[in-house]
Amino acid sequence: MIPPFAYTRVTSVKEAVAALAAPGARPSAGGTDLLGCARDDVFAVKTIVSLGRIEALRGIGDTADGGLRVGALTTIAEIAGHAAVRERYRALAEAAASVASPQLRNQGTLGGNLCQRPRCWFYRGGYDCARKGGDTCYAVTGDNRYHCLFGGSTCLIVHPSDTATALSALGATIAIAGPRGERAVPIEDFFVLPEADVTKENVLGPGELVTEVRLPAAAPGTRTTYRKVRTRGAWDFALAALAASLRVEAGRVRDARLVLGAAAPVPWRVREAEKALVGQKLDAKAIQRAAEAAVRGASPLDHNGYKVPMFRGLVEEVLTAMS
Ligand SMILES: Cc1cc2nc3c(=O)[nH]c(=O)nc-3n(C[C@H](O)[C@H](O)[C@H](O)COP(=O)(O)OP(=O)(O)OC[C@H]3O[C@@H](n4cnc5c(N)ncnc54)[C@H](O)[C@@H]3O)c2cc1C
């Protein structure tokens, strides 16, 4: 049962920011994660502020500098099927297409996908864990088969969002509105590690909401892709994922961005693997070096050691397909 809550609909970002100032107020976009969290007592909700009628937050359009803006209320299905996204930002289209089920993609939005809460079964399962303000991460000694290899400290979650991983490889910027006005944050600074704040996954402060995601113009010669490994082909969160963006000129890699998903509490950029590629031909030797570099420094837990060869293989497979 969901405990009783107040419900308010707003029609502008200004109204949303004002409504979110109330204690215990939370924004709702598609509601596919929020309502589950409220039902399972993951967090308390006093007022649901429905963003659904804010037209300004919808849609996909070109920006003056040749990039693309995607409104926070744009559905995951719309993103997966949008011609410009598929053509210019393939990794995002592929990531969106891999999210959950058709029903969830039709209802779930980009803003909600980026701000959804982690799927750790201790966090979701009624444990008073570190992320909920307790003093223990139960995944340290418990069943940690789906937990992180990198970036864990006081909490061992992995970030659940497929689109976040793809957008990180694409160098997106997150536009935010709040009580102190608007700001734009590079996606690499949007998500936060437990060591910075174990109770939240991103930099949003009280009363702030994501308004849109901005993608920079794709440089000529850039190709991007997203590949997700999951337990089953129907809806499922990633066991391991990779978003790759490569710019190849005259047979050599000039620019590379490789981001692992389901590896860390944030989308995990593997810069050493990128360095192993830049300036090289995309041949088997360079690919193998990048794959080794991608998992260097991993700290497997008792039950998730399988992820190390899985990520290594994923990097090898994706780069080989791009070569
Ligand atoms: C069965 C199931 C399977 C799933 N599988 C996957 C998967 O494979 N990959 C994946 O990536 N996701 C998966 N998800 C998560 C799903 O994609 C999200 O539930 C959905 O994207 C959230 O979108 P929403 O619009 O419904 O968000 P909501 O439920 O409305 O919101 C989610 C959270 O974000 C906050 N929020 C919403 N919009 C904003 C905004 N604009 N600014 C700030 N905060 C905001 C809300 O307050 C809430 O805390 C799955 C979910 C379910 C239930």
Complete DSSP assignment for 212-252: EEEEPPPPTTEEEEEEEE-SSSSS---SEEEEEEEEEETTE
pLDDT at 218 (0 to 100): 92
Which protein residue's CA is at the shortest distance from atom 1 of ligand 1?
100
**181 Cβ contact partners less than 8 Å away, ≥ 6 residues apart:** none
pLDDT at 241 (0 to 100): 98
pLDDT at 74 (0 to 100): 98
pLDDT at 146 (0 to 100): 98
Which protein residue's CA is at the shortest distance from atom 21 of ligand 1?
113
113 lines ligand 1 (CB under 6 A): yes
**116 Cβ contact partners less than 8 Å away, ≥ 6 residues apart:** 33, 160, 161
pLDDT at 235 (0 to 100): 86
Q: Whose CA is closest to 111, among 49, 180, 39?
A: 49
Taking the model in full, what pTM does it have? 0.98
Query: Which ligand 1 atom is the nearest neighbour of the CA of 76?
Result: 21
262 lines ligand 1 (CB under 6 A): no
* Top mutation candidate among 15, 28, 185 for ligand 1, by most atoms within 8 Å of CB: 28
Query: Which ligand 1 atom is the nearest neighbour of the CA of 36?
Result: 53
207 lines ligand 1 (CB under 6 A): no
* Top mutation candidate among 26, 74, 104, 203 for ligand 1, by most atoms within 8 Å of CB: 104
- The continuous run of DSSP H or E covering 150 comes out as none
**105 Cβ contact partners less than 8 Å away, ≥ 6 residues apart:** 75, 76, 77, 80, 96, 97, 99
116 lines ligand 1 (CB under 6 A): yes
pLDDT at 233 (0 to 100): 81
β-sheet bridge partners, residue 225: 244
DSSP sequence for 41-64 = TSS--SEEEE-TT-GGG--EEE-T
Alpha-carbon span 93 to 280, nearest angstrom: 28
Ligand 1 centroid to residue 28 C-alpha, Å: 9
* Top mutation candidate among 115, 168, 210 for ligand 1, by most atoms within 8 Å of CB: 115
Alpha-carbon span 122 to 111, nearest angstrom: 24
245 lines ligand 1 (CB under 6 A): no
Which protein residue's CA is at the shortest distance from atom 33 of ligand 1?
116
Query: Which ligand 1 atom is the nearest neighbour of the CA of 210?
Result: 42
Contact between residue 206 and residue 118 where contact means Cβ atoms under 8 Å apart: no
Low-confidence ranges of the chain (pLDDT < 50): none
Tens of pLDDT, residues 6-63: 999 999 999 999 999 999 999 999 999 999 999 999 999 999 999 999 999 999 999 9
- The continuous run of DSSP H or E covering 174 comes out as strand 173-178
In b/e form, how buried is each residue of 98-132, taking b as 16+ CB within 10 angstroms? bbbeeebbebbbbbbbbbbbbebbbbbeebebbbb
In what side-by-side order are the strands of the sheet with 222-229? Answer: 222-229, 240-249, 252-261, 268-269
pLDDT at 288 (0 to 100): 98
Alpha-carbon span 247 to 216, nearest angstrom: 14
In what side-by-side order are the strands of the sheet with 25-28? Answer: 6-9, 47-50, 25-28
Ligand 1 centroid to residue 107 C-alpha, Å: 9
Query: Which ligand 1 atom is the nearest neighbour of the CA of 37?
Result: 49
- Given CA atoms 271, 159, 113, 102 in this order, what sign does their dihedral have? positive
307-322 helix and 284-295 helix, angle to the nearest 10 degrees: 150
β-sheet bridge partners, residue 113: none
Residue 301 phi, psi dihedral angles, 5° rounding: -95, -170
pLDDT at 229 (0 to 100): 97
- Given CA atoms 65, 167, 185, 275 in this order, what sign does their dihedral have? negative
